[in-house]
Amino acid sequence: MTQPAVVFEEISKFYGEVLGVNRVTLNIPPGITSLVGPNGSGKTTLMNLMTGLIFPDHGRILMRGISPRDPEALMRMTGYATQYDTAPRWATGFTFITTGLLLFGYGRSEAEERAWKALERLSLTDAANRKVAAYSKGMRQRVRLAQAIAHDPELLVLDEPLNGLDPLVRAETIDMFRAWAAEGKHVIISSHVLQEVDLISDQVVLIANGMIVAEGKIRKVRDEIEEHPSQYIVRCRESDASGVAALLFGEDHITEIKLNDDRMGMLVMTRDREQFARALGRIALDGHRIESVVPADENVDALYEYLIGGER
Amino acid sequence: MTPRSVQGRAGQAWTIAKIELRRVFFARRSFWVYGLALLPSVIFLGHGIDAKTDIERLGRRGLTAPALMDSIREGESLDDVKKRVGQPAAERWSVRSRRVRQRTGNAGTTTHPIEPPVGARFVRLNITRPSFNGEPVARIYEFEVYGPDGRANLALHRPATGSIPCGQDQGPEKAVNGSVTGGQADRWCAADWPLFLQVDLGAVRPVQRFVVKHASAGGENEDSDTREFNIQVSENGKTFTTVGSSTGGGYVDERTEVRQIAYFDGRRRADLVFIDGRVQHRNVRRLLDFEEDRAIFAGIFQYFYLRLAIFFGCLGIFMYLFRGEMSNRTLHFWFLAPARRDVLLAGKYAAGLIASAVIFGGGALLTFAAMIWPHDAVEVQAYWNAGGMGHAFWYAAAAALGCVGYGSVFLAIGLYLRNPIIPAAVLLTWESVNGIFPHVLQKMSILYYLQSLCPVPAPMDSDTPTLIRLLAAPAAPASRPGAMLGLLLLTAFVLWVAGLAVRRMQISYGAET
């Protein structure tokens, strides 16, 4: 028997004229999966699609074999901690979770017991009987997490779950994720900081502008980005492009050079940004007049720079 | 309880309903719904208390024999009535005074004799207040001067001067042309201060009488007549002597004594209005008229309760169920529950329905009780034996079924549209003009069925305009079972349409703001 997976087939979602996500195809096995991308890249859209809060315009989604259009079956095994920072005005942390559990068909005493257990796991028992609306941001984050896990789901979709947690709770939460993943559950989390999820994820999905940029095991994604040739447009003065090109060809990290017809510019592909930068420096010192160097392929590059916080 | 069974889903819907019920009943926004539901009962309670205290108060002052009370006729004098019927149970009087215009008299003509006659060549009319209505325009159609023989108008066709006229054809000569019948072109008219008109008689002559014909003599409104003026004479045209003045007829106070007295025979109250000591108006009515109160109840129930209170109450309750949660950004909690969307719809509808039916059905019964409460136990017993219980039941049932119908409509509107104002206005119009449409279209209105359920047709004065009568009354009321079936079918259809919307509904809080 194959592993139950979260499957997206050619999913597109438009908000009116605006593109949400475009032709996303995914196959996520159990374990911890991180959706990583800048704000507005479509992470929440993907999560809302997974849980049936919104429906795709094209394509098919199966969550462990169940369509998100069947909430009765899907939500029984799924917990979704949204980023919507709202709670009903009447709700205390305890009643909020208990009420949700009643809808699963649990009796009141079992619902209360499970609610209490979930609050305990997120160290919220002290605040259990206070109004959620009066909670701090981190506490509201935790109460949403508690609600998502209270019915012991097999598939957890958690939108920025580590946001606003203090280091201790954060470490505990990550341990929890690992424990669930070890049980064969899906733990799908989102983040806009790659480092945050780097170490804990079994696989990573990099997303930008509604498209999947890279996907797979975390090591593979790193390599993919590093090996992905970067493209630069180099412009020189006084038709010196061919001279510069000749020098650049000598470098072994350069994979390809295309000279422009005006002999003043060229498109350079390199496997190593740093060596390329050093080489340009040497060439300039030799007296060649390089006017500008502009990255031509901003997508992956910029995204990566952004995600790792400009470390490299 | 297996979740995918019918019982499982029903149980889930009931769980949702229970959660929502508390919010619908106790939400702050529900308070005006309670206000709408309870308003009629407050009105009837007030009426009952008012009538009961009246009976108590009037009764303490002594009762009058009914026959004696009925014998009072219009035109009788106060003293006669008191002597014959006795001291009234209530009495108060007032003097109504109003300023009325003293008429110029004699069709806008004033005559001013002087004694003895004086010699004069120049005669001048000075106008100090030109009109009664405040208009600063003097209008004189004719100014006549007579000597002691009194025959000939000495001013006729004599040269006349005066303040600058209003128009070219309204010069001073028009006041001495011997005619008043030529309309506005036959008058002297001036608005230029000082206002005066002067006639040169040609030579010094004895004069004894002046006649002034004002605006109303020429057919204009009496209020344009000259209010205050004086007449001066002169022999040389330089030194003038005032020989007469007139306030032209001013204002006087007209005083009328109005006395209201009341007699009470234990059930009926006779109100008599005496104007200047004579019965001008008499009105005998029962302080508590059960039949009348029941008709008023029927009217309030149909025109206010069904058409407005339940309509807007359901708008407030049912529109909120989805639309309100969307704008509060809490709807996703429901969508993330392991429940089909139509189960969610059913649960929310059930919560709204239970709450609104309890509020408005209860409100109707409370109003009915408040209407009955002050009345005589014997009368009430007779009404009860003659089907009063049935009436109460059908009023409550009509109110509850109103919630069934309007609730489904507003639930559906809340799913399809963001702003409730326009659809509510359209629906209200549709519901109220529905009576003039063909029968097939009438069946598409909730009110049509509700009216058919009411036990008593709403009262309608015989002088009501035809259009309003058409709007207010169903042309062909359905039978009760037919009306209930029709209403339930209509509701089922609307809920089915709502179900389509809720299944397609997506969370888009961003677009809500």
- Nearest CA of chain A to the CA of B470: how many Å? 46
The answer to whether A54 contacts B330, with C-beta atoms less than 8 Å apart, is no
Q: Which residue of B has its CA nearest to A68?
A: B336
A35 and A64 share a domain?
yes
Residues A190-210 pLDDT 10s: 987 777 777 788 888 988 888
A235 and A143 share a domain?
no
pLDDT at A29: 92
Neighbour order of strands in the sheet with A290-295: A254-259, A265-270, A230-236, A290-295
The answer to whether B333 contacts A90, with C-beta atoms less than 8 Å apart, is no
> In this complex, is the C-beta atom of A76 within 8 Å of any C-beta atom belonging to chain B?
yes
A21 and A169 share a domain?
yes
CA dist B272 and B91 (Å) reads: 9
pLDDT at B13: 93
A1 in any annotated domain: no
Give the number of other Cβ atoms within 10 Å of residue A113's Cβ. 14
Mean pLDDT of B253-265: 83
A137 and A236 share a domain?
no
The answer to whether A74 contacts B335, with C-beta atoms less than 8 Å apart, is no
A97 in any annotated domain: yes
Pairing verdict, β A254-259 and A265-270: antiparallel
Contact B395, B453 (CB under 8 A): no
Structure tokens at B136: 């600063």
Contact B185, B113 (CB under 8 A): no
pLDDT at A310: 41
- Nearest CA of chain B to the CA of A151: how many Å? 11
> In this complex, is the C-beta atom of A82 within 8 Å of any C-beta atom belonging to chain B?
yes
Question: The CATH number of the domain where A241 resides is what?
Answer: 3.30.70.100
Query: Distance between alpha carbon B42 and the CA centroid of its chain, in Å?
Result: 21
A100 and A234 share a domain?
no
> What residue numbers bound the domain in which A26 lies?
6-225
- Nearest CA of chain B to the CA of A167: how many Å? 28
A242 and A272 share a domain?
yes
A260 and A168 share a domain?
no
- Nearest CA of chain A to the CA of B47: how many Å? 40
List the single residue in A75, A86, A103 with the smallest CB-CB distance to B328: A86
Give the C-alpha distances (Å, rounded to integers) separating B60 from B55, B64, B265: 8, 12, 11
- Nearest CA of chain A to the CA of B311: how many Å? 27
- Nearest CA of chain B to the CA of A36: how many Å? 22
The answer to whether B3 contacts A84, with C-beta atoms less than 8 Å apart, is no
| pTM exceeds cut of 0.80 | no
A295 and A255 share a domain?
yes
> In this complex, is the C-beta atom of A86 within 8 Å of any C-beta atom belonging to chain B?
yes
First to last CA, chain B: 40
Point out which residues pair with A293 in neighbouring strands. A234
Q: How many inter-chain contacts (A to B, CB under 8 Å) are there? A: 72
Q: Would the pLDDT of B251 be above 70?
A: no
The answer to whether A71 contacts B335, with C-beta atoms less than 8 Å apart, is yes
pLDDT at B355: 94
Domains of chain B, by residue range, sit at 29-56+289-507, 61-100+254-286, 106-249
CA dist B306 and A23 (Å) reads: 53
- Nearest CA of chain A to the CA of B511: how many Å? 10
A65 and A191 share a domain?
yes
A248 in any annotated domain: yes
Question: The CATH number of the domain where A212 resides is what?
Answer: 3.40.50.300
Q: Would the pLDDT of B362 be above 90?
A: yes
Positions of chain A with pLDDT lower than 70, given as ranges: 1-2, 218-229, 238-239, 296-312
Pairing verdict, β B251-264 and B228-234: unpaired
- Please tell me which of A187-201, B372-386, B426-440 the model is most confident about, judged by mean pLDDT: B372-386
List the single residue in B332, B338, B506 with the smallest CB-CB distance to A84: B332
Q: Would the pLDDT of B469 be above 50?
A: yes
Q: Which residue of A has its CA nearest to B509?
A: A84
Number of domains in chain A: 2
* Residues in chain A closer than 8 A to B1 (CB atoms): 105
Cα–Cα nearest to A30, from A160, A129, A245, A177: A177
Q: Would the pLDDT of B438 be above 50?
A: yes
> In this complex, is the C-beta atom of A102 within 8 Å of any C-beta atom belonging to chain B?
yes
Q: Which residue of A has its CA nearest to B13?
A: A103
* Residues in chain A closer than 8 A to B23 (CB atoms): 88, 90
The answer to whether B339 contacts A71, with C-beta atoms less than 8 Å apart, is yes
- Nearest CA of chain A to the CA of B361: how many Å? 27
Residues B481-512 pLDDT 10s: 888 998 999 999 999 999 999 999 988 876 43
List the single residue in B16, B328, B336 with the smallest CB-CB distance to A75: B336
* Residues in chain A closer than 8 A to B337 (CB atoms): 71, 75, 100, 103-104
A58 in any annotated domain: yes
A312 in any annotated domain: no
A51 and A120 share a domain?
yes
List the single residue in A51, A82, A103 with the smallest CB-CB distance to B339: A103
Q: DSSP for B338-407?
A: SS-HHHHHHHHHHHHHHHHHHHHHHHHHHHHHHHHTTS-HHHHHHHIIIIIHHHHHHHHHHHHHHHHHHH
> In this complex, is the C-beta atom of A88 within 8 Å of any C-beta atom belonging to chain B?
yes
pLDDT at B511: 47
CA dist B295 and B303 (Å) reads: 12
The answer to whether A72 contacts B3, with C-beta atoms less than 8 Å apart, is yes
A218 and A234 share a domain?
no
pLDDT at B477: 65
Interface with A, mutate which of B336, B343, B348, B509 (most A CBs under 10 A)? B336
B242 vs A193, higher pLDDT: B242
Residue that finishes a domain, picked among A206, A225, A244 = A225
The answer to whether B332 contacts A53, with C-beta atoms less than 8 Å apart, is yes
Residue-averaged pLDDT of chain B: 85
Contact B473, B484 (CB under 8 A): no
A175 and A99 share a domain?
yes
* Residues in chain A closer than 8 A to B328 (CB atoms): 86, 88
pLDDT at B513: 31
> In this complex, is the C-beta atom of A100 within 8 Å of any C-beta atom belonging to chain B?
yes
Structure tokens at A29: 């096995």
- Nearest CA of chain B to the CA of A298: how many Å? 29
Mean pLDDT of B409-420: 88
Alpha helix ranges (H) inside B434-472: 439-442, 446-453, 466-472
The answer to whether B508 contacts A15, with C-beta atoms less than 8 Å apart, is yes
CATH of domain B61-100+254-286: 3.30.1450.10
The answer to whether A90 contacts B23, with C-beta atoms less than 8 Å apart, is yes
The answer to whether B507 contacts A71, with C-beta atoms less than 8 Å apart, is no
Point out which residues pair with B241 in neighbouring strands. B233
The count of C-alpha atoms lying within 13 angstroms of the C-alpha of B197, restricted to the half-sphere facing its C-beta, is 34
- Nearest CA of chain B to the CA of A23: how many Å? 20
A30 in any annotated domain: yes
A271 in any annotated domain: yes
> In this complex, is the C-beta atom of A98 within 8 Å of any C-beta atom belonging to chain B?
no
Mean pLDDT of B78-106: 78
* Residues in chain B closer than 8 A to A99 (CB atoms): 19
First to last CA, chain A: 43
Q: Is the ipTM of this complex over 0.95?
A: no
The answer to whether A102 contacts B506, with C-beta atoms less than 8 Å apart, is no
- Nearest CA of chain A to the CA of B336: how many Å? 6
* Residues in chain A closer than 8 A to B336 (CB atoms): 51, 53, 71, 75, 80, 82
Residues B182-232 pLDDT 10s: 888 889 988 888 889 999 988 898 988 888 888 888 888 878 888 888 889
pLDDT at B397: 93
* Residues in chain A closer than 8 A to B507 (CB atoms): 48, 53-54
A264 in any annotated domain: yes
The answer to whether A75 contacts B340, with C-beta atoms less than 8 Å apart, is no
The answer to whether B337 contacts A100, with C-beta atoms less than 8 Å apart, is yes
pLDDT at A311: 39
Tell me, letter by letter, the H, E, C secondary structure of B277-339. CEEEEEEEEECCCHHHHHHHHHHHHHHHHHHHHHHHHHHHHHHHHHHHHHHCCCHHHHHCCCC
